Amino acid sequence: MLYIDIVLWAVYLLLVVATAVAVWSAIHGVQTHERTDDPLASRRTSMLGYITAGVVAVVLLLTYLLASTQPVVSNGKPFTDTLWLRLTDMFIFSSILLICLCSAIVVAAKFRR
């Protein structure tokens, strides 16, 4: 039981650190963002950011809606909470799908040049 408490506190600490780094990175990125005179270049980069955020949101929504609600037996006890079952499936399948999508984009960009 002692190790479970240590792991949980480590996860909480990592969550706080990751959130702090993400907030700092966003603020730093906004403050140091170079403004260009070329409207097409700035439009393309901002459009790419919107497309990326939209794809991630759509993937998360679709994987949540298509997730299974079948009960799972864990430690000999059935787990039937449909919200957590769907969220677990959503994170697993969206992670796999986004990793595959990113790998395909990297390969396509490599052979494009």
The pLDDT, as a whole number, for residue 39 is 59
* Residues, the chain: 113
Work out the burial of residue 31: count CB atoms within 10 Å of its CB; fewer than 13 is exposed, 13-18 middle, 19 or more buried.
Answer: exposed
Residue-by-residue pLDDT tens, the chain, 113 positions: 678 888 889 999 999 999 999 999 988 887 777 666 665 556 666 777 788 888 999 999 999 999 999 998 888 888 899 999 999 999 999 999 999 999 998 999 888 86
Eight-state DSSP code of residue 35: P
The residue written with tokens 């994987």 in the block is 63
**Closest C-alpha to 68, from 85, 92, 93:** 85
The pLDDT, as a whole number, for residue 28 is 86
- Residue 78 has phi, psi (to 5 degrees) of -75, 135
The pLDDT, as a whole number, for residue 8 is 87
The pLDDT, as a whole number, for residue 53 is 86
- Cα separation, 9 vs 113, in Å, equals 46
Token pair listed for 98: 């986004």
Eight-state DSSP code of residue 33: P
Token pair listed for 34: 């170079």
Token pair listed for 45: 């980069």
